Amino acid sequence: MKFKRILPGVAALGVAALALAGCSSGDTQDPNSTNQSGSASGNAEQVELRWAMSADSQAEVDVWQNLADRVTKEYPHIKIKLETTAYKDYYNKLTTQAAGNDLPCIAGLQAQRVPDVGELFVPLDDKLTGLVDIEDYEASIVEGLRKDGDLLAVPYDLGPYVIFYNVDMFNEAGLDAPEPGWTKEQFLEAAHALTKDGKYGYAVDGTPDMWLPYVLSIGGNYLDKDGKPDLTNPKVVEGFTFVTDLVTKEKVAPAPPATGASNWPADQWRNGNVAMVIDGPWQLINARDNVSFEVGLTTPPAFDGTSITTMSGTGFGVTASCANPDEAAQAISVIIGPESQQYIAEEGRGFPAYKAAQDYWYEVANVPTARPAIETALETVDPFRTSPGWNRVNSLLQQYAVQAFNGQSTPEEVLTNVQSQID
């Protein structure tokens, strides 16, 4: 379902943005003036900019390619070469490219990755003048993309991690739809009822995104007072154990593969093998385009009345090795601009960071349970805080968590092992 109307105010804002950028035809600009690159507007030097972004489906690749094409339409002297990588490998690839002095000009940056890879990006505040009004974007994610006060990326989305569920499987099991605020006990009861005929109630893996909401909900903190990973404190062990027990004791979730396949839990859910998975609103495009069942959203279950999930968002920034930073800023202004945000909403790719597009996203998503789930989650959400070296923490947890899921090691042993390698 796609809507072709323009958001109230978006059309005007889009026109204003184009005017500010001075990026339309030369009819509205002094032919002797210069563009951001310093070239005469009528004779801009042709440049090719590499743009790196994560993508775990062809649908996602298609969205990013559409935005890349929009840049060239708006700025004919700029050609975008899109480079996509599976999410699980994306940040490792960025650091490898940095070591080899082969970074792309534009790259996606998650807020929780700022401490880890923020040094690869240049401050954007001055480069955005006349191109982007940052006040039009959600302040929480804008601040999350700053380091030492400098804005490193302009956000395109944000969102809390919520439970995606298969409405058809719930109906077939005779279960009521899980409402925001449902309890741990209700979650487990549903997961058991849904586990039958070779299918499971839930999908998990060792990625911190998949289990940290449970740590937070029981009152735990995975970082110490100095902001360093603290994976062996009792609350972290308890939260991680709750998730591994879903495989080893409750037997309501399949054991994840040792290969660490990209986005495996979401794939299991989309394929109809499991009824529930935790993920972010940005996965809605995959749900809408690749499943044959009705989709529902709810909050992660509450522990003793408390449900706290993590939240993050992603933006696009200019890397430190980019030879054409001004053109890269121009490209980003299109990629995150009002019309692009409307397109992203139409495709269900992410919950817009651009405030004027959020109601429209709910309309286009056309999932009745999306608004109550997301709005409830945002009431108690905990920003996804990380530490320098988090990419390594993430990789190690993915690697060793398999041992806890297959019973080779206890959850505490896994966390102790990872902690010893990052201390």
Give the C-alpha distances (Å, rounded to integers) separating 338 from 137, 291, 407: 10, 29, 49
276 beta partners = 165, 202
In a domain, 248, yes or no: yes
Domain boundary residue, one of 349, 365, 381:
365
Provide mean pLDDT across the span 306-326. Answer: 94
Residues 304 and 317 in one domain: no
pLDDT value of residue 261: 57
CA angle, 200 as apex, 197 and 203 as ends, to 5°?
160
What's the CA gap between 209 and 391, in Å, rounded?
Answer: 12
Higher pLDDT, 338 or 21: 338
Asked if 213 and 285 sit in the same domain, the reply is: yes
Phi, psi angle pair for 411, to nearest 5° = -55, -40
**Pairing between strand 162-166 and 295-298?**
antiparallel
Whether 382 is in a domain gets the answer: no
- Same structural domain for residues 320 and 409? no
pLDDT of residue 94: 95
Q: Same structural domain for residues 223 and 174?
A: yes
Do 85 and 223 belong together in one domain?
A: no
- 417 and 339, same structural domain? no
pLDDT of residue 260: 58
Domain boundary among 327, 349, 365: 365
Give the pLDDT band of residue 32 (cuts 50, 70, 90): very low
pLDDT above 70: residue 23: no
**What pLDDT digit, counting tens, does each position of 162-175 carry?**
999 999 999 999 99
Q: What is the pLDDT of residue 405?
A: 96
Query: Does 354 map to a domain?
Result: yes
Cα torsion 321, 325, 327, 331: sign: positive
Supply the pLDDT for residue 283: 79
**% of the chain exceeding 70 in pLDDT:** 89
Contact 237, 220 (CB under 8 A): no
Q: Are residues 241 and 317 in the same domain?
A: no
What's the pLDDT band for 229 if we cut at 50, 70, 90? Answer: very high
Whether residue 28 lies inside any domain: the answer is no
* Number of domains the chain contains: 2
CATH of the domain at 261: 3.40.190.10
Per-residue pLDDT at 292: 92
Higher pLDDT, 312 or 228: 228
- Position with higher pLDDT, 202 vs 15: 202
In a domain, 54, yes or no: yes
- Residue 112 half-sphere exposure toward CB, CA atoms < 13 A: 20
| pLDDT at residue 311 tops 50 | yes
Residue 34 banded pLDDT, cuts 50, 70, 90: very low
The answer for residues whose C-beta is within 8 angstroms of residue 343's C-beta and 6 or more apart is 63, 66, 67
Tell me whether residue 15 is in a domain.
no
Last residue of a domain, one of 365, 380, 403: 365
Same domain, 266 and 330: no
Q: Please indicate, yes or no, whether residues 144 and 168 belong to a single structural domain of this protein.
A: no
CA distances 62 to 2, 131, 180, 203, Å, are 16, 25, 33, 27
What mean pLDDT comes out for the span 397-411? 94
Domain span including residue 116:
45-158+312-365
Structure tokens at 384: 């996804």
Condensed to tens digits (0 to 9), the pLDDT of residues 345-391 reads: 888 778 899 999 888 889 888 899 999 999 999 888 888 888 888 88
* 331 lies in some domain: yes
Q: Give the residue, 263 or 202, on which the prediction is more confident.
A: 202
pLDDT, position 13: 37
Residues 154 and 166 grouped into a single domain: no
Residues 198 and 284 in one domain: yes
Please tell me whether residues 275 and 179 are part of one structural domain: yes
Answer with the residue of higher pLDDT: 21 or 253.
253
Residue 20 lies in a domain: no
